[in-house]
Amino acid sequence: MLVVHANAIPGREDLPSRVGFVVGKSVGNAVVRGRTKRRLREHCRARLGLLMPGTDYVVRAQPAAAGATFAELGAALDEALARLGPRWSRTA
């Protein structure tokens, strides 16, 4: 339902991490895409302490994210961050 990409930028180790979102038209119409993005933004805001400083993250929503509840999106985000491993997030 979610894919997370991470990229560490040399020289940014002391700066906060940044998160971007990709919610394409395959997820749904503009209302569904906006709702999905708002939910993801809130989940990421709550998990900022788990993200490695100086790292850029891109959260890509797949079509299944459109029908997911708020809790399901949170669980999917936690799972995707854990798949990144300990180098990229503190959840692993």
Quickly list H helices, 29-69. Answer: 30-46
The pLDDT of residue 91: 59
Strand partners, 5: 58
pLDDT tens digits, one per residue of 9-27: 899 989 999 999 999 999 9
Domain boundaries, the chain: 2-84
The pLDDT of residue 88: 81
* CB 84, CB 2: distance < 8 Å: no
The pLDDT of residue 90: 74
* pLDDT beneath 50: ranges in the chain: none
Question: 2-84, which class in CATH?
Answer: alpha beta
